[in-house]
Structure 1
């Protein structure tokens, strides 16, 4: 699905793999593998591609017609991998551009981004397992299993697992961030 969408966007703009790769700062080989569904791109790669197309990351996953009812099943979800030391996400919602829900797994020491960053959305994080430190606008908030935190995503923010145990959380973002 993602690979097909990227190929569609690339071809609609008359870009070769090499031209898109150059604009996005990735290799043409990686783009080819993504388009063929052989590899899952990192979140950073998705953001770079979305920027080139002037789209949100969520729009890269959009299907022509999103069903009225969507069931997200383990093993069938799009998994977004970040570089080592960063979060891995399972996408729980279809790409309709209105709401994005992600399940994030953080190993001890994992961080969502090297620096806190903003985006124009509202975000709610529900910690399912472990303890997650949520940095928002320079302040740290410790959120434990069973607790939820909602904040204006226009404030720079990131998620960190400072603890010795893995953590899992659900993150809801509306509208989805670019």
Structure 2
């Protein structure tokens, strides 16, 4: 749900959007299962919002439906104002033991805001993307590695960098950690 200038607009869930994209392409669950390498049961549970999916799964499905992954996470009211309640955030599991919550992403806008939770000992895969990223640690200690150089950020510390440089983050401690990441242009 998004509240815009005192109006309440109900938005489709991630599962509803994925199902609509599948039907738009006239694909059955069995056909998507073969293309994406996912079970029919799992696809049904995704479409009915019974499970959270990983970024990798979203990317596979987006490829099947010939859409950008961000399409499924974005609700684009035309007024330029976005209000998203905590319980309405899209949450994606990362493949390496972390959770990513999309706080704001919109293809029509120039940035995305993500909240990333890292359990002890977990790290992301190395990535590169066009644009810039800004990180601020909200809990614990996060190590960000950019082109092989480590930056240890404690709660309240921030870091800005050119995201075309290979980078990843990790939690080398025995305590959970969280950070807010602002990226431009939007990726998810």
In which range does the TM-score fall when normalised by the shorter chain?
A: 0.7 to 0.9
1:10 correspondence with 2:22: yes
1:38 correspondence with 2:54: no
Measured in 2, the distance between the counterparts of 1:66 and 1:88 equals 29
1:73/1:159 CA distance change after superposition, 3 Å? same
User: What's the TM-score once normalised by structure 1's chain length?
Assistant: 0.86
Runs of 4+ in structure 1 deviating by more than 6 angstroms, as ranges, are: none
Shift of 1:164: 2.1
Q: Alignment partner of 1:93: what SS? A: strand
Measured in 2, the distance between the counterparts of 1:50 and 1:153 equals 23
Encode CA deviations 1:141-166: one digit per residue, 9 max, x unaligned: 21221111122222222110001221
Say what the alpha-carbon RMSD is for the aligned residues: 2.1
Deviates more, 1:57-66 or 1:167-176: 57-66
User: What's the TM-score once normalised by structure 2's chain length?
Assistant: 0.82
1:12/1:58 CA distance change after superposition, 3 Å? same
1:138 aligns to what? Answer: 148
Measured in 1, the distance between the counterparts of 2:149 and 2:180 equals 21
1:52 aligns to what? Answer: 64
1:91 aligns to what? Answer: 102
Encode CA deviations 1:34-68: one digit per residue, 9 max, x unaligned: 11111111122112222333433221122363653
Matched residue pairs, number? 175
- In the TM superposition, 1:12-161 aligns within 5 A as 12-63=24-75, 65=77, 68-83=80-95, 85-98=96-109, 99-113=111-125, 116-161=126-171
On the 8 A contact 1:97/1:175 being kept in 2, the answer is no
Q: Which has the higher strand share?
A: 2
Q: Alignment partner of 1:75: what SS? A: helix
Shift of 1:97: 4.9
Specify every segment of 5 or more residues in structure 1 that has no aligned partner in the other structure, as ranges: none
Deviates more, 1:160-169 or 1:13-22: 13-22
On the 8 A contact 2:76/2:106 being kept in 1, the answer is no
Structure (1 or 2) with the larger CA radius of gyration: 2
Measured in 2, the distance between the counterparts of 1:130 and 1:67 equals 37
On the 8 A contact 1:56/1:176 being kept in 2, the answer is no
